[in-house]
Amino acid sequence: MIRTLDSVLEWWSRALMAVAIIAGFAMMIHISIDIVARTVFNSPLRTTNQMVAGYYMIAAAFLPIALLGKRDDHISADVFTEFMSPGVRRALDGFTTLLGILYLGAFTWQSWISADRRMNQGEVLEIPGGYLTVWPGRWLLPIAGASLFLCFLLRFIRILTPGAGPDEDHHNRMPEA
């Protein structure tokens, strides 16, 4: 059961990362076209700033966090824990993972409420010559939050399950260059 959930979360996290990469490339292309249109043709695209703020940046910033959480690659300060015994580190990992689960539960819940409210209101941004619908981009936050929540939940289950815990040596890993 845990391996199946692990495989599904790995696939889902990679898919979110792929969407984030595509959003990053789309943002670069959109901005580049806007720069060319503005400088060469004196006719900037009218939706660039709003698309970047409402879609591209949210996707690029939040969707990859599930893959980082799945692989335990978040930034960590191991200065205080490197000399602790494996049991104490495991307990501390469990505690901090539980705190992360609680935070992500609240984050996902509140971002879901916000996205639902904005969808029901039909949120738009005013642009020259009309409006740009932006409420669909609001759903990226609860998707990212729920994904990281599930990754932390799996990690917590592994910490509690003897023999299925996280790699105890992950505190001693050197970052890959």
The answer to whether the beta carbons of residues 55 and 22 sit under 8 Å apart is no
pLDDT at 171: 45
pLDDT by residue (tens digit) across 121-166?
A: 999 988 888 899 999 999 999 999 999 999 999 999 999 987 655 5
Beta strands per DSSP E along the chain: 124-127, 130-133
Read off the tokens for 108: 């996902």
